[in-house]
Structure 1
């Protein structure tokens, strides 16, 4: 197996995460069935924030489930191998923190998505959710998976012992 340059891969991870504007949300509905959706997000101080409408299904499911999973994934059209799309996923706790205050977070939304859009959304039925990543995994391709935290400080190459698996 070829040696992986961890520092170069960390830099790639940081660039990948900084280039993402939406995340996929995995949670459970009121019957305990899996439910998947997406939302735009920002990162602030080691946490992820989503701003979602109260009339959306995922609003209710994110609010009612303190544990959710999120994933950021590379665009299919820019992926050389669809079996090994670059992606990062995180197990998170979620909390509805409302709309009052948090101007630093809304400032990040303004920078990323535009003042005009955010001013319009702030006049609607949207609420801000704080997602606290507990642990994550970043995958570049086959044999290139890393256990990570959001900042990339934790960056451990995941290695499978094939000899052990054959026993």
Structure 2
């Protein structure tokens, strides 16, 4: 008999792929690795499109509230609108990774979905803020470079 955790937290459907995840840039068998990467991407897209209603509601509610909080913290409507799709993607990816790896922090399936989506939104927030900071630094350097050239032309 399988452990209780596996019966309670088992995915709604079994994953079609058996094998390790191969990240880009790693050589693991040449052409076969590329085919396996495409199959993992297709499996992710299939699961992202066909998630159950409960997961969609959790992702929508958590991403919506994260967008509202981002709007109040950053005071920029456009940034909040840009961040919400990132939050949704982060929640769906983390939910998929939890199912793929079989990581279930609690014995309750619904709680695991909430935990996975929350961690995905937090991770997506860090990634989005890091990208925002990098673009601000790069644009600042570009402005300084052009401002210095303009000052040289005046002299």
Whether TM exceeds 0.5 here: the answer is no
TM-score class, shorter:
under 0.3
TM-score under structure 1 length normalisation: 0.22
Rg larger for: 2
Between structures 1 and 2, the one with greater helix share: 2
TM-score under structure 2 length normalisation: 0.23
